[in-house]
Amino acid sequence: MCGRYAATLPPEMMVELFRLLKGLDMVPRYNIAPTQPIAAIWEEGGRREGHFARWGLVPRWVKDPREFPLLVNARAETMREKAAFRDPLKHGRCVVPASGYYEWHTGPDKKKQPYYFTRADGRPMALAGLYATWSGPEGEEIDSVATITVAANQQLSVIHDRMPAILMDERQIDAWLNVREVRAEEAAQMTLPLEDGVLRFHPVSTRVNSARDDDPGLIEAVTVEKPEPVVAKPKKVAGGGGQMDLF
């Protein structure tokens, strides 16, 4: 899964890279965690706008968000079948701008070492996401987002068996956000693992484990032993078709 990332793009670069009508009042962040507000981009009435939304999707049909499991990621392989993601894939596709993301490698000693992943060409990432707006009985509204994950490519699988779905160019971003003309089935075909070499990664301080730490030092490289490859575990499926079946 992708459970932490950094976003350090200045507002004017956000406007230029993602063709926004106006920028978001953002500050550089180096350790963004689930449930926190994040910047996301989606289209409404053909207008591309930036929004702040909770990281952790709350589907429109949920009665009480406090009693619903936290949906940080949507697996690309199953998002078309899952009740929480079917409608957002059709009508609520978004992009989450990022400078890089973190993933943890579990060693033979069961210790977890964080790594920081960026594009090898130095460009910002456009994470494919899904959003929904939940409306409460008192008129309150919550915009929320889940980022999409895919199987890791061979290069990255030495660290973890999953990686975020990343849109690599303007054409892909345009198609992903165009929910009026691009059907869900077509959009889903864009959520694929990247080729080896597109991303690079390095180990970072375990300080990133705490969401309270948020500073540039978190993305700096540290020295650790070479990681052993990860063996993907069989996916457990809960019975009964309840909410815990969402993944």
- Pairing outcome for strands 29-32 and 73-75: unpaired
What does 141-152 look like in DSSP terms, one character per residue?
EEEEEEEEEEE-
CA distance linking residue 170 with residue 119, whole number of Å: 15
- Which residues lie across from 102 on neighbouring strands? 4, 116
DSSP state of 227: P
Alpha carbon 111 to its chain's center: 24
Catalytic residue among 103, 138, 195, 225: 103
Q: Give the burial class of 42: count Cβ atoms within 10 A of its Cβ; 0-12 exposed, 13-18 middle, 19 or more buried.
A: buried
Picking from 206, 199, 192, 32, the residue whose alpha carbon sits closest to that of residue 104 is 206
Residue 103 catalytic?
Answer: yes
Cβ contacts of 30 within 8 Å, gap of 6 or more: 6, 8, 214, 215, 216, 218, 219
Residue 222, helix vs strand vs coil? coil
> ∠ CA(17), CA(160), CA(210), 5° rounding?
75
| 79-105 core/surface letters (b: 16 or more CB in 10 A; e: else) | beebebbeebbeebbbbbbbbbbbbbb
Residue 140 catalytic?
Answer: no
Residue 66, helix vs strand vs coil? helix
Catalytic residues: 2, 103
